[in-house]
Amino acid sequence: MGVDYYDILQVDRDAKEEDLRKAYKRLAMKWHPDKNLTKKEESEAMFKQVSEAYEVLSDPHKRALFDNTLKARVEPAADAGASGDGGPTRYQNPFPKAPPVVRKLPCTLEELYKGTTKEVKISRITIDPSGQRKLVEEVLIVEVQRGWKKNTKLTYLEKGGEVEYHRPADLVLFIYEKLHRVYTRDGNDLVVTQKISLVEALTGCTVNLVTLDGRNLTVPIDQIIHPEYEKVVEREGMPLRRDPTKNGNLRIKFKITFPDDLTPDQKLEMQKLLSD
């Protein structure tokens, strides 16, 4: 028996493209399987029929064939129904997806070092089957993992809101790394710059730091420190994302403060000390 696609979409036979889109959107939202969990089989069958009807009637060539016969069933695209490998049914939605909504998720270095749980309040517009718009507010729980880097991307499907004649937008969160007053990050390494005097550069010094997890770290320096010198403390950097039991390194750089002036006697003493 032939199928009447006009009856399925509940439109007249002279329906325009705009009428077809509106009818499809209303019925697709009504019969989408995700919205009818208690009537899954019925909704899957109706959703498939609605998608098939819109595909045929929105294509001028297929619609002309259908109008000329009103008997023959015009087949939809291959991926509009069940997959050929016996897997879950996939449905073709002819509407384009709305552009993603992008937001930053600010995190301190301490949070990225230790990991944390953050609550993100979001609001988005939804459109019900009758076309009414509604503001929905929601709190997302984000588990920030140890070692995540800036620009780590988190995608929440269809949490970005709805636009008419589009599939719902995704919400994309990007990790934004806040500036730290002591440390900067270089990949998996942490970098700190320590100010020292010329005397300390020549005779040695001790660097005292508080780590991102609150430990007191003491680093003795007994080498002569030149402007390009860098002290590397292994495994005191950021946790590695793929293996949080391992860490990058801590790199201590130095800024040597030179005296503004020396007296003649001081210059003479320096010459004696530094002469071969």
- Write the pLDDT tens digit of every residue in 124-181: 998 876 678 899 999 999 999 999 999 999 999 889 988 877 888 999 999 999 999 9
Going by pLDDT thresholds of 50, 70 and 90, the confidence category of residue 94 is: low
* List of residues 6+ apart from 215 with CB closer than 8 A: none
pLDDT reading at 217 higher than 90: yes
Q: Where are the alpha helices (DSSP H) in 77-189?
A: 109-114
Contact 2, 72 (CB under 8 A): yes
What is the average per-residue pLDDT within 66-71? 58
Whether the pLDDT of residue 89 is over 80: the answer is no
Kindly report the backbone phi and psi dihedral angles of residue 127, in degrees, each rounded to the nearest multiple of 5, phi listed first.
Answer: -125, 120
Average pLDDT on 34-41 reads: 78
CATH of 101-177, one of 2.60.260.20, 3.10.20.30, 3.40.50.880, 3.40.50.620: 2.60.260.20
Torsion sign over Cα 13, 19, 20, 22 = negative
pLDDT band at 32 (very low <50, low <70, confident <90, very high): confident
> What is 5-80's CATH number?
1.10.287.110
pTM: 0.64
What is the mean predicted confidence (pLDDT) over 35-46?
Answer: 80
Give the span between the Cα atoms of 6 and 271, in whole angstroms: 101
Q: Which one has a higher pLDDT value, 123 or 69?
A: 123
235: pLDDT confidence band, cut at 50, 70 and 90?
very high
Pairing of strands 189-197, 250-257: parallel
Q: Which of 75-84, 239-248, 249-258, 262-271 has the lowest mean pLDDT?
A: 75-84
Inter-CA distances, 260 with 65, 198, 224, 228, 266, Å: 92, 11, 21, 21, 13
Alpha-carbon span 147 to 113, nearest angstrom = 6
Q: Are strands 184-186 and 250-257 parallel, antiparallel or unpaired?
A: unpaired
Judged against a pLDDT cut of 60, whether residue 80 lies above it is answered with: no
Structure-derived torsion over alpha carbons of residues 145, 151, 155, 158, reported in degrees to the nearest 10:
140
- What values do phi and psi take at 45, rounded to 5? -65, -45
Residue range(s) of every CATH 2.60.260.20 domain in the chain: 101-177, 184-259
Share of the chain above pLDDT 70, in %: 87
Residue 273 has pLDDT above 80, yes or no: no
Distance CA(234)–CA(237), nearest Å, equals 8
- Write down the CATH number for the domain with range 184-259: 2.60.260.20
Higher local confidence (pLDDT), 80 or 153: 153
Is residue 269 scored above 90 in pLDDT? no
Q: Model confidence at 93, in pLDDT bands (50, 70, 90)? A: low
d(Cα 92, Cα 56) in Å, to the nearest integer? 12
* Greater model confidence, 2 or 150: 150
Q: Is the dihedral of CA 20, 21, 22, 26 positive or negative?
A: positive
Task: Give me the chain's average pLDDT, please.
Answer: 85
For the chain, residues classed under CATH 1.10.287.110 are 5-80
Shortest CA distance to 236 belongs to which of 222, 255, 250? 250
Examine the pLDDT at 270 and tell me if it is beyond 70. Answer: yes
Mean pLDDT score, 87-105: 71
Q: What confidence tens digit (pLDDT) does each residue in 188-212 have? A: 999 999 999 999 999 999 999 999 9
